[in-house]
Chains A and B, each alone.
Chain A
Amino acid sequence: MGIDVEDAYRRYAGMVLRRCTVLLRDEDIALDAMQDTFACLLRHRARLKDRGLSSLLFRIATNICLNMLRHRRRHPEDLQPADVLDRIAHAADPIDGLPTRIWWDRLLGRVPVTTRTLAVLYLVDGWTLDELAVETGLSVGGVRKRLAKLSAAVRELEAIEGGPDRTPATGGAP
């Protein structure tokens, strides 16, 4: 039995909209992102578990906002001074698109946690590696390795591999 998306909307729309508004800093675009978040849930509802739905929606919303930021930057009129969120959004993710990764996520019935999403949680939201590990089901070392792959594009992550458990958040969403 899949997820009741209407019930999920009634329950989590506020949380998702707040998340999108913080990251996108534009309420109209955040509304689009919120709808895309629930659309994603609708597409995958048959194979997702109705458990930890708020965490799942939080991650989907973060990922969708990153995609929107990535797209907006293509238009010159949307150019803004780059901050850490923009750098994360435009960082190439070397493993998220791998077929084996996609197959594995499908097998486990989960929406992939992209490395960029991990980077937002770590650098913008201030989560610790331990909290990321608990949230994603990865080991702390696994989270660290994933984040290190973005270090070429996101200089705030340069010290992540083998470095301290936290690096200070710099810039990002208000």
Chain B
Amino acid sequence: MTRRDLLLEQVACGDVAPPLDLTPAEQQRIEELREENSRVLQRQPADRALSAIRARARRPLARRLAVLVPAVAVAMLLVVALVRRGDDIVNKGGRPQLLIYEQLPQGARLLRSGDGVRPGTKIQLAYVANGNPFGVIVSLDDAGTVSMHWPAAATHTPRLEPRGETRLPHAFELDATPGVERFFLVTSDAPLEAATVMSAAEALARAASQELLPLPASLKQTVVLLRKDVEQSPGALDSDGGLGAWGEP
């Protein structure tokens, strides 16, 4: 970007007045920049972006970058990533997806974040890595119990299938602990220690915090919440396919 290009950006932002020697092509470019600026704000609305920005501002950049070195992975737990949840599903950076299915007699039904489920509901987890080769899935309930769903053991390398939707090899039943169960998919394009994610989840549980896991910002976190303290699933009421599962009319 030449100095002149930056000048056009500044004109488009309203920082400086258009120079007298503006060419028609440059005037056209300014209009394009203004339109593109509007599109960026539509894709990255200020209210949502600022939540993430405030969280990042609480940690010095150098420290966040430094903790990515495996040798200082333990220091990750000291970094407090207070990212406020701006939406039901929080995506930072990349676009991996964590999918939670409720297994029903007539098939699986995709649950949405915030859906209510009954204790004993059979759950199938799946993910879409979107090119991220490593990822860990953990969950945390209101009682502070942390469960690791992927990989099978903390000592395993948490490799993901990079493309398409992949279901975990096993389903499980939700226990009867009331409250919210939070499922975290933490993905990375660099090798990732499952134990580090588990430790972060345990730290979050000890702090009784509703924030994201205290991990470096470069690790993408996707969160899906399920409420376990309801007799009936709002998600089911929204879905014709789910009505029969609860025996409702």
Contacts and interface: CB of A to CB of B under 8 A. Distances in A.
Contacts of B57: 39-40, 42-43
Given A22-B1, A54-B15, A77-B189, A28 B54 contact: no
Interface residues of A, number: 44
Contacts of B218: 32, 71
Contacts of A43: 57
Interface of A: 5-6, 9-15, 17-19, 22, 28-29, 31-32, 34-36, 38-40, 42-43, 52-55, 58, 64, 67-68, 71, 74-75, 77-78, 125-128, 131, 135
Contacts of B10: 54-55
Contact of A42 (B5, B40, B44, B54): B54
Contacts of A12: 13
Contacts of B15: 52-54
Given A11-B14, A125-B5, 9 more contacts: A5-B53, A11-B13, A18-B36, A29-B93, A32-B217, A38-B49, A78-B189, A78-B190, A125-B3
A13 to B, nearest CB: 5
A13 B41 contact: yes
Interface string B40-79: 1100101001101110110001100100110000000000
Nearest to B34: A14
Measured as residues with beta carbon below 8 angstroms from the partner, the interface class of chain B is 35 or more
Contacts of A36: 56, 61, 217
Contact of A35 (B3, B6, B56, B94): B56
A31 B45 CA distance: 12
Given A32-B217, A35-B53, A54-B13, A64 B93 contact: no
Contacts of A54: 6, 9-10, 13, 15
5 contacts: A9-B49, A34-B44, A55-B6, A125-B3, A131-B3
B12 interface: yes
